[in-house]
Amino acid sequence: MTQKTVTLKFIVPEALAVAFGIMILIGIIYLTHKYPVPTVQADAHHSAADSRGSAELQAPDGRLSRVHMLLSRMK
């Protein structure tokens, strides 16, 4: 292959792909700053309570479960 053929078959398409990827990245950053996505506070609170909170571990009658008692001993 000659130098011109290598340039046309490999270098130019790769440069175009990189430029296209950079354009998409800049567009995504621009759109996320212009139109921010609201976060759902209920989901954030739910995941924090699941980590070690007792909100999900209490029995319906108010007693703590065995799992909660074991986790409280580990602290």
The 10s digit of each residue's pLDDT in 31-53 is: 988 888 776 655 554 454 445 54
User: Is 68 within 8 Å of 54 (Cβ atoms)?
Assistant: yes
Query: Can you tell me which residue has the tokens 């790769």?
Result: 14
The burial of 39, by beta-carbon neighbours within 10 Å (0-12 exposed, 13-18 middle, 19 or more buried), is given as exposed
Confidence grade of residue 54 (pLDDT, cut at 50, 70, 90)? very low
Judge whether residue 62 has pLDDT over 80: no
Which of 69 and 15 is assigned the larger pLDDT? 15
Question: How many whole angstroms separate alpha carbon 22 and alpha carbon 2?
Answer: 30
CB 57, CB 65: distance < 8 Å: yes
pLDDT band for 26, please (50, 70, 90 cuts).
very high
